[in-house]
Structure 1
Amino acid sequence: MSELNRRDFLLSAAALSLPALSSAAVTTKLTLMDTRQVEAGVLDVGYHESGPEDGHPIILLHGFPYDIHSYAEVAPLLAAQGYRVIVPHLRGHGSTRFLDAATPRAGQQAALGQDVIDLMDALHIPEAVLAGYDWGGRAACVAAVLKPSRCVGLLSVNSYLIQDIGQAGLPAPARVEAGFWYQFYFLTERGRAGLSANRRDIAKLMWHANSPTWQFDDATFSRSAQAFDNPDYVEVVLHSYRHRLGHADGYPEYAELERKLAAQPAIAAPAITMDGLADGVIQATDGSATAARFSGPRRHIQVPGVGHNPPQEAPRVFADALAELARNGKWRT
């Protein structure tokens, strides 16, 4: 890290009253989630699978900057109940790779949602319960509206996450703008250089800011940080936020899907939405503001003492909510 970038990060951490970035040696031994690969759409997807093959499928989708280990405790809890649990690395993360070097490294919401559908096709999964937070929650919401017949239930952290890209420039409360500092940083070429050189430092800074009450150790962070070494990580992340804020065009192959998403279609699947009361990015609500975005039955949960990454911070609560959706779902297969 250059001296200039190091000073910028330390000043940012001080301004946000965040803990200092730790350089302590990693001593804790944690279980690594094994992965396998499958070609799905434009990707060779790395994914973890557990539970019986004939169990009702539950697909768990991680956020940015995180990885499949957000579900390291949730997955076995669900597998033990007889569910088939699928946890993929999102595009740009872990062992997921693009099949063709010429494919645009899109990070827009339509691409993330289409990836979920393509993965289900590749694994011959006709329907599933979908769950996620941050990017993963958005991908789950998008898949649920693009292919409603294939979503038996939805668990989405921070409620309805489909974006109206045309409204991205509207003013937001100061607290929200502060929590989204990285989005504006990534609009700049300085942000590209910073993410390229300091992807782990940026992620660790975000983990602390996103979940100020979560006392994770260096081993826990390092286990996930390996996923950020993906060669497409920087380009996918930059396009995600630049497209979201209207500073980059979407790619033509996703234009029709984005037009559909711009209408903010309602989610018909039975849903549980969840907010962590200690979320440092998105302020917890009672869920009423997005009630009209759910045309099916929906229940909202607030989880005390939990930040932006509920599956890793409160795995039992997350797993119980998913088991409820799966148990009560109207499965056709």
Structure 2
Amino acid sequence: METGAVKANGVEFGYLAEGPPDGPLALCLHGFPDSAHTWRHLMPELAADGYRAVAPFMRGYAPTGVPEDGAYQGGALAADAVALHEALGGRDDAVIIGHDWGALATYGAAAFAPERWHRVVTLAVPPVAVMLSAFFTYDQLKRSFYIFLFQTPLAEAAFGRAFVEGLWRDWSPGYQDVDGEVERVMDCLATPENVAAAIGYYRAMFDPDRHAPRYAAEQAAAGKVGERPVLYLHGQDDGCLGADAVMPDGGPAGVLAHLPPGSAAESIADAGHFLHLERPDVVAARIRAWLRA
């Protein structure tokens, strides 16, 4: 797998890449607490279909730089995705795939600049409207304790390897390679500045108007239903955002009501929050079929 770097939206992004340089861009965006390595199973599959799969390390996650503007709200992440499409030579046949925070960036980028993306895939975090309604159930509030912790001055002191490992084990209880994943995450968050950036994503949830003048249009798009159909996948055993909250009736109707016409939603059995790592063959097959359709 190749490594590289590119300047986009004022940030120097490190990335992993695989596939022919002239192939359609497949931009793969990771979440928290994770890294671009999370796509290492999917990227060869995309490359086999002719895509130029590129997985950037998100803003603030080394080797990507910590952004000078200090912005981490959904609008900034969407702006990054659009800028990366431009910087990486994307065309109108590009596709965008996002997990967790990468999913939120994907919704925003696809709604803000639909002409740039042929197909859209999101994992583990549903559209904002669904997430907000799911968030306030009692069980989900317990799962989301870390979000409230991250609003306090205790966040940086609590954050460390043991904390990250605990999240991974809670969120994907059946996954067997937690130690390896945590090692990759801690490499990306090795400095106080990187840790502050990762926590900054969550603090921006409660202060979305910060930096609003620069990212106002992207921020507005992030909360809208776009026009490009979306494939949404969610692990049935997700311990971060429970399937019981996202799909309370066991079906996709609630999610599909907040996605563009022609979208699809499916829960993946025997998988938690990091479903693309836990069941890589199943997830890759679903994504590849969606991109070919």
TM-score after normalising by structure 2: 0.89
From 236, 243, 259, the equivalent of 2:220 is 259
Counterpart residue number, 1:202: 163
Q: Counterpart of 1:126 in structure 2: which amino acid?
A: R
Counterpart residue number, 2:100: 134
CA distance in 1, matches of 2:123, 2:252: 11
From 96, 102, 115, the equivalent of 2:80 is 115
The structure-2 alpha-carbon separation of the partners of 1:113 and 1:163, relative to structure 1 and needing over 3 Å to count, comes to farther
The structure-2 alpha-carbon separation of the partners of 1:71 and 1:230, relative to structure 1 and needing over 3 Å to count, comes to farther
Counterpart residue number, 2:150: 186
Counterpart residue number, 2:229: 270
Give how far 1:232 is off: 3.5
Q: Is the 8 A contact 2:120 2:228 kept in 1?
A: yes
From 153, 160, 179, the equivalent of 2:119 is 153
CA distance in 2, matches of 1:148, 1:231: 36
The structure-2 alpha-carbon separation of the partners of 1:164 and 1:293, relative to structure 1 and needing over 3 Å to count, comes to closer
Q: Counterpart of 2:6 in structure 1: which amino acid?
A: V
Task: Point out the more displaced range, 103-112 or 227-236.
Answer: 227-236
Q: Is the 8 A contact 1:183 1:241 kept in 2?
A: yes
Q: Is the 8 A contact 1:278 1:304 kept in 2?
A: yes
Counterpart residue number, 1:13: none
Q: Counterpart of 1:42 in structure 2: which amino acid?
A: G
Cα deviation 1:64-90 (Å, max 9, x = unaligned): 000011111111122123221011100
CA distance in 2, matches of 1:49, 1:288: 35
Q: Is the 8 A contact 1:271 1:325 kept in 2?
A: no
Give how far 1:260 is off: 4.1
Counterpart residue number, 1:26: none
Higher Rg of the two aligned structures: 1
Give how far 1:234 is off: 2.5
Give how far 1:292 is off: 2.7
Give how far 1:293 is off: 2.1
Task: Point out the more displaced range, 318-327 or 149-158.
Answer: 318-327
The structure-2 alpha-carbon separation of the partners of 1:188 and 1:159, relative to structure 1 and needing over 3 Å to count, comes to closer
Give how far 1:135 is off: 0.5
CA distance in 1, matches of 2:128, 2:3: 29
TM-score after normalising by structure 1: 0.79
Give how far 1:212 is off: 1.1
Give how far 1:61 is off: 1.0
Q: Is the 8 A contact 1:107 1:240 kept in 2?
A: yes
Q: Counterpart of 1:178 in structure 2: which amino acid?
A: K
Task: Point out the more displaced range, 112-121 or 153-162.
Answer: 153-162
The structure-2 alpha-carbon separation of the partners of 1:89 and 1:105, relative to structure 1 and needing over 3 Å to count, comes to same
Corresponding residue SS for 1:47: strand
Gaps of 5+ in 1: 1-32, 329-333
Give how far 1:172 is off: 0.7
Corresponding residue SS for 1:91: coil
The structure-2 alpha-carbon separation of the partners of 1:291 and 1:159, relative to structure 1 and needing over 3 Å to count, comes to farther
Q: What is the CA RMSD across the aligned residues, in angstroms?
A: 2.3
1:23-102 equivalences under 5 Å are 34-98=2-66
Q: Is the 8 A contact 2:237 2:272 kept in 1?
A: yes
CA distance in 2, matches of 1:143, 1:260: 8
Deviating 4+ runs (over 6 angstroms) = none
1:3-14 equivalences under 5 Å are none
CA distance in 1, matches of 2:71, 2:268: 33
Q: Is the 8 A contact 1:187 1:242 kept in 2?
A: yes
Q: Is the 8 A contact 1:56 1:326 kept in 2?
A: no
Q: Is the 8 A contact 1:152 1:270 kept in 2?
A: no
CA distance in 1, matches of 2:145, 2:227: 33
- In percent, how many aligned pairs have the same letter? 27
Counterpart residue number, 1:243: 204
Give how far 1:204 is off: 1.0
Q: Counterpart of 1:131 in structure 2: which amino acid?
A: I
CA distance in 1, matches of 2:111, 2:215: 15
Counterpart residue number, 1:222: 183
Q: Is the 8 A contact 1:186 1:241 kept in 2?
A: yes
Q: Counterpart of 1:300 in structure 2: which amino acid?
A: A
Q: Is the 8 A contact 2:130 2:255 kept in 1?
A: no
Cα deviation 1:86-128 (Å, max 9, x = unaligned): 11100111210147xxx22221111111111111111111232
CA distance in 1, matches of 2:178, 2:219: 39
CA distance in 2, matches of 1:81, 1:256: 34
Q: Counterpart of 1:251 in structure 2: which amino acid?
A: H
